[in-house]
Amino acid sequence: MEFHTPGRPEELPPFDLLWARAAALAALEAGGGASQHVYADTVVHHDDAGGNEWRLARLDGGRGVLVGADHECDEHVDIEGYDPYVGPDWLPWTWFTELENGREQGFAYWWDGAVWDRIDYPDIIDNDGLDLLLTHLSTTEKAIEVVLEFLDLYDSMDEWGEGDLLVRRVLELAERGSGTEEEWREALEATLDFAARQDSRYVNRAKDEFDVAAALAVARATGLVKGFDAEVKPVENGRPQGWAPRPR
């Protein structure tokens, strides 16, 4: 699946599905499998080390937000008065302030528990970067490809088929949301053992440094494991008076 440019809210997967894929990749990253997805402080953060990043946060009440910027599609952040946060009162304004203090965000999408939404873009915005930053999570297959490509594997290689089955199992557990801790441990151990056997320029750990416990901890914290609730950010009660994005 490809996103339109600029992105359209209805094209994003439902929040729980998007969260499951992002969190699963973050769990593998924590265990030693590179994917450029890191979980910390209730947020999954994707950073490609090239000036392009997004953050996905789960909020109280089944809500969520997605914010990010791509350096090839961020000219609009300099538009006078551009404000991607003209949304519902419950948005996490304190967190938005922290983000804007670090970098102007190119887009913000919010999930109210049923649908995604964003501001109506001015005509000058022809691409907000969503298609460049999120396409790899639009389907299970694309998410699997991200992991295998970071292992320097190609679909013409015998190892690709083995890796596909292992990573697919992790994604299926995440998307299903009913995997037990033992099922998760087995799936993560098998996938990380496979990753440790590959000769990848992106994976810098020795085989005995891959950490299933660290991967499982992220799966628990993000609510992927049956019986564990995902950590969440609190919703807030109205945009603070005078609050504005970082001065342009």
7 occurs within a structural domain = no
pLDDT of residue 59: 98
**Token pair for 173:** 């557990």
What is the domain count for the chain?
Answer: 1
2 occurs within a structural domain = no
4 occurs within a structural domain = no
Strands 52-59 and 43-47, sheet pairing: antiparallel
Quote the CA–CA distance of 18 and 235 in Å, as a whole number.
Answer: 20
pLDDT of the chain, 248 residues: tens digit per residue: 678 899 999 999 999 999 999 999 999 999 999 999 999 999 999 999 898 999 999 999 999 999 999 988 777 877 878 899 999 999 999 999 999 999 889 999 999 999 999 999 988 899 999 999 999 999 999 999 999 999 999 999 999 999 999 999 999 999 999 999 999 999 999 999 999 999 999 998 888 899 999 999 999 999 999 999 999 999 999 999 999 897 65
244 occurs within a structural domain = no
**Residue 199 — φ and ψ, nearest 5°?**
-95, 85
pLDDT of residue 248: 55
HSE-CB of 127 using CA atoms within 13 angstroms: 13
Find the domain containing 94 and state its range: 14-238
CA-based nearest residue to 174, from 19, 17, 20, 16: 20
**Residues facing 116 on adjacent strands:** 111
Quote the CA–CA distance of 108 and 86 in Å, as a whole number.
Answer: 9
**Residues facing 46 on adjacent strands:** 37, 54
HSE-CB of 79 using CA atoms within 13 angstroms: 16
94 occurs within a structural domain = yes
36 occurs within a structural domain = yes
138 occurs within a structural domain = yes
246 occurs within a structural domain = no
